[in-house]
Each structure stands twice: as C-alpha cells, then as structure tokens.
Amino acid sequence: MTPPRLRPATPDDAAAIRRIYAPFVEETAVSFEADPPTVDEMRDRIESKPPAYPWLVAEGGSGVVGYAYAGRFASRAAYRWAVECSVYVAPDAHRGGVGGALYTGLLDLLARQGYRTAYAGMTVPNEASAGLHSAMGFTPVGTFENAGYKRGSWHDVQWWQRGLGDEATADTGQPAPPRPLPELADAEVAAALTVE
C-alpha cells in the first residue's frame, strides 16, 4: 500500500474530517459527543485552534483518509508542556498504516515544538485503539470508571501517555515554553510529515 501523504489540516478539510468523524459519534461510544458536528462547526474547530496545537490530515488515493490533532491537556500553567492527542481513520483505510503515520507525524511535530508528554483517552474496550497507542509507545496510566453514558450504557475511559523528548531549558534554567507551530522552520515541519 502506498503510504499516505501528511499535511497540516485547513478549514477546507472540514467536510472530509466530518465524514470520517461522524460515524464514530453516531454509531459508537468511541466519542462521547452526542451529535456529530456540522461541517461549519468542524471548520470552526480547525480555524479556532490555537497555533500551539497541530491538526493533520492524511491523504490517500480517495482523498482525506484520516486526521489527527493535539490540544491543551489542562488549562493551568504547569500543564503547558502536556498535550492531549486524538486520531481518527476512515473505516475503509483501517489497518493500512494511516493511524500510525498520522501519530508519527503528530508526535514528531509536538516533540519539535518542545512538548514533553502526550496523553490520549479512549473508551474501553477498544482493541484497535489500544493496539495503535501501544505500537506508538503509549502506555496505560489509569482508568476512569463509568466516565460517560452513551448508547444505553456506562463506559470507562482509559488514559495512556507517552514521553515526547528531552527537556530543553531556557537561559533561566526553566524548561523553554513550547513553540507555536508557525515558529517551526518549514524544513522541520516537512521532516516531521514525511512518511517513509
């Protein structure tokens, strides 16, 4: 299979991203959203994301076949080196390396930005997601029991984490703050998004 091409998501990807995400909302408890966002709502999510947090898409022969993004883990200042990550792949692209490619690119970008730890939460059981996260170096760190009610039952959420890189310190001896994505050199972004 030809590896997917990764690139930063744009608002023009909103319809494709919604197409991938909607079945997870409508048919599963993978997402705890009750209703899938509209195309306009998805466009707003992409447009309003802070520049510190990347959104990526993977393109295959049929267009956008997956997406991944990072966001703030928690709002207090001490958490600014931590991110929460998610990846979604179109059903017809499962087991084709798309999820791994997206996570590889996303985690590489986050490390280059200066983030230290990535977290991912998943509704369990979810063997496919657990397999992907394990393959990407994440390890489970805890389970929130009965965290959400959807589709007629209570669901647990398991949290996984992965380190992203060495600690970089500023002249003050404190960790340097993560850099917004636009501050990375084009060559750094291109290197992170190259799938081999």
Domains and CATH numbers, the chain: 5-192 (3.40.630.30)
Which helix (H) or strand (E) segment holds residue 143: the answer is: strand 139-150
Give yes or no for residue 3 having a pLDDT over 60: yes
Is the Cβ–Cβ distance between 164 and 117 less than 8 Å?
A: yes
| 14-27 and 39-48 helices, crossing angle to 10° | 110
Which helix (H) or strand (E) segment holds residue 158: the answer is: strand 153-163
Give yes or no for residue 171 having a pLDDT over 70: no
Is the Cβ–Cβ distance between 137 and 104 less than 8 Å?
A: no
* pTM for the whole structure: 0.93
Is the Cβ–Cβ distance between 94 and 87 less than 8 Å?
A: no
Lowest mean pLDDT among 91-95, 109-113, 138-142: 91-95
Q: What's the one-letter identity of residue 140?
A: P
CB atoms within 10 A of CB 4: 25
| End-to-end Cα separation, the chain, in angstroms | 12
Pairwise CA distance, residues 185 & 162, whole Å? 24
Mean pLDDT of 89-118: 93
Give residue 92's pLDDT. 86
Pairwise CA distance, residues 130 & 12, whole Å? 30
Q: Model confidence at 1, in pLDDT bands (50, 70, 90)?
A: low
Q: Where do we find the tokens 């197409």?
A: 19
Give residue 93's pLDDT. 85
Q: What's the one-letter identity of residue 187?
A: A
Give yes or no for residue 169 having a pLDDT over 80: no
Beta bridge partners of residue 149, listed in sequence order: 154
Q: Model confidence at 172, in pLDDT bands (50, 70, 90)?
A: low
The percent of residues above 90 in pLDDT, for the chain, comes to: 86
Q: Can you point out the beta strands (E) in 5-138?
A: 5-8, 55-60, 63-72, 82-89, 117-124
CB atoms within 10 A of CB 175: 14
Phi, psi of 66 (to 5 degrees): -175, 165
Pairwise CA distance, residues 107 & 102, whole Å? 8
